[in-house]
Structure 1
Amino acid sequence: MGITATTVDALVRGGLDPTVVSRVIETALAEDLGPDGVDVTSFATVPKEQVDTADLVARADGVVAGIAVAAAAFELVEAGARLSPQVVDGVRVGRGDRVAEVTGPTRGLLTAERTALNLLCRLSGVATHTRAWADAIAGSKAQVIDTRKTTPGLRALEKYAVRVGGGANKRMGLYDVALIKDNHILAAGGVAPAVGRVHATYPNVPLQVEVTTVAQAQEAVSAGARFLLCDNLTPEQLRELVAAVGDQAELEATGGLTLPQAREYADTGVDYLSVGALTHSSPVLDIAMDVRGQ
């Protein structure tokens, strides 16, 4: 069993590693199928030779993300399964809209159903939530970005869904960006020593510094930081910090932001709104599979 070349191409075009996607799906299938790898209900009730077509149908309004991931789930279970998208990722759908149809041996479709839908619904929920933030700050200079507050094992997929929803990704992990937070500053003895040590140890790694005051921001910029996280500041405090720093650094508002506040924070002049809730608190978009029957 494996993913078809068409699905691999779709995943790659979306910036997803097919190997990572396959590993996620295989882990999910192992949870569902147990040590013997069997869907006992489908195996008992459906003849091996039966073939059907099923529709993936939205049960609520939202933004779709993860169609190729769902296709990969069906293909990894059933080599004969083929999914035909009816929409593309990033499209808004309404309740009752067909997202895709999938054809193949019925046993395989039913076995893969929950894994495919769990991932499709999850990613579509993240994309839907992100689109609400992107719409709320449209027209400002700010962009909504995600955090590392992701579901373990699903980071690459959830960050993909953020992109589909109109947001942007921050760092993928602890390896690709040095982010000096309050505890690092305390451990290093100040902002400047912490920045200096990162520059000396990892000169080619992008560096960001968390600040809570104008004085800290100015110290960080003087030490060479060009990206500042403005943590738990009010809009008034952010406007003061923006005025003090100017274009010397990119500025990110972070810390407990909520959608009703989005526009007020975006209008302070910051470059980014960092929202952990995009990935840790997005409700799924309900999508179901309906077999057409014989």
Structure 2
Amino acid sequence: MSDPSILSPLPRVMLEPLVRAALLEDLGRAGDITTDAIIPSGMRTQVALVARQNGVVAGLDLAALAFALIDPAIVMETEAPDGSPVRPGQVLARVSGPARGILTAERTALNFLCHLSGVATGTASIVTAIAGSKARVVCTRKTMPGLRAVQKYAVRAGGGSNHRFGLDDAVLIKDNHIAVAGGITPAVKRARAATGHMVKIEVEVDTMSQLEEVMRVGADAVLLDNMGPEMLREAVGMIGGRAIAEASGRINPQTAPAIAQAGVDLISVGWLTHSVAVLDIGMDYEAG
């Protein structure tokens, strides 16, 4: 998990379009007809956002924004900030104010909070598994459409680091680029000629012969795809510190330690953002 004191929150201007779109989707054409029918308009209440599982929390700012956009009179006070380890029964935040607004925003707030806490928790599971090694856990571009910025924020909350944010961050020459370009060497040479001096070049390889070619032509980083620990150790030796060594391919907390011990610099994990399980968090009534 990340140190909550140094985890930089995303600015509201980045979060508001996501939360507003989610609320509008939920409100539909007539608003919250259930809550409006059974809760008096002047009623106030207080609830707690409570963890049901062990994990790492992320997404509290989006939850707070969901409540605030429905009713600015709703106040959310955080007790376990993003990046904090949490246990079952722990209160993450308390929310108080107009009851209608709290109930209407509940699901949108929890959707963001549970999902992003799941991303942070999954990240922390691998960070913990490789503790003591030099390797860092990084995410990928395999993010849910529209949620890349907040998912990558949640990876940071879990103690991980970010890979590219988009296609314009850096050059990553993958297998299909190599196939269409006619090989590693022409692909790297064209990339180097077309990009500026600040742009890094990484090449994906899955065989030692490909790695040999990359090291001849030169690259800033090498993505070692679906290699076992022994092959990774050999690859790291061949790279010899001349490029960043990144391992990828179906890595989980059980397989990560041996991969880290092979000497790679980075371990990239796609499931952290494309298929991670949510962290179970609920909203519990406390007082009217």
TM-score bracket relative to the smaller structure: over 0.9
SS, match of residue 256 in structure 2: helix
**How far is 1:43 from its partner?**
0.9
Over 3 Å counting, the alpha-carbon distance change for 1:220 and 1:125 in structure 2 is same
Corresponding residue number in structure 2 for 1:222: 216
Secondary structure at the counterpart of residue 95 of structure 2:
strand
Q: Tell me how far apart the structure 2 counterparts of residues 151 and 104 of structure 1 sit (CA, whole Å).
A: 32
CA-CA distance at 1:15 after TM superposition = 4.6
Q: Which residue of 2 aligns with 1:22?
A: 16
The CA deviation at 1:73 is: 1.1
Alignment map for 1:249-288 (pairs within 5 Å): 249-288=243-282
Q: Secondary structure at the match of 1:292?
A: strand
Moved over 4 A (4+): none
Letter aligned with residue 26 of structure 1: R
CA distance in 2, matches of 1:17, 1:178: 28
* One-letter code aligned to 1:163: R
Q: Tell me, in whole angstroms, the C-alpha distance in 2 between the residues paired with 1:234 and 1:13.
A: 33
Shift of 1:13: 6.5
- Kindly provide the amino acid, as one letter, of the partner of residue 116 in structure 1: A
Runs of 5+ consecutive residues of structure 1 not aligned to the other structure: 1-9
Q: Which moved more, 1:12-21 or 1:27-36?
A: 12-21
Contact 1:127 1:164 in 2 (8 A): yes
Query: For residue 110 of structure 2, what is the aligned residue in structure 1?
Result: 117
- The structural deviation recorded for 1:17 is 3.8
Which string of whole-angstrom CA distances, capped at 9 and with x for unpartnered residues, describes residues 206-265 of structure 1? 211101223322322332311000011111111111111111000001112222111000
1:27-66 pair list within 5 angstroms: 27-36=21-30, 38-66=31-59
The count of corresponding residues between Structure 1 and Structure 2 is 283
Identity in percent? 49
Mapped contact 2:7–2:156 kept (Cα < 8 A): no
Give me the whole-angstrom Cα distance separating, in 2, the residues matched to 1:96 and 1:241. 46
1:5 maps to none
Aligned to 1:67: 60
| Cα deviation digits, residues 63-116 of structure 1 (max 9, x gap) | 111111211111111111111001111111111111100111111111110000
The answer to whether the Cα contact below 8 Å between 1:213 and 1:241 also exists between their aligned partners in 2 is no
Q: Which residue of 1 aligns with 2:71?
A: 78
Matches within 5 A, 1:1-294: 14-36=8-30, 38-203=31-196, 204-294=198-288
Q: CA deviation at 1:192?
A: 1.4
Alpha carbons 2:138, 2:162 under 8 Å: kept: yes
Distance 1:250 1:47 in 2: 61
8 Å Cα contact 1:252-1:273 kept in structure 2: yes
Contact residue 252 and residue 272 of structure 1 kept, 8 A: yes
Q: 3-state SS of the aligned residue for 1:172? A: coil
Q: TM-score, normalised by structure 2?
A: 0.94
Matched position secondary structure for 2:76: strand
- Structure 1 residue 45: Cα displacement: 1.1
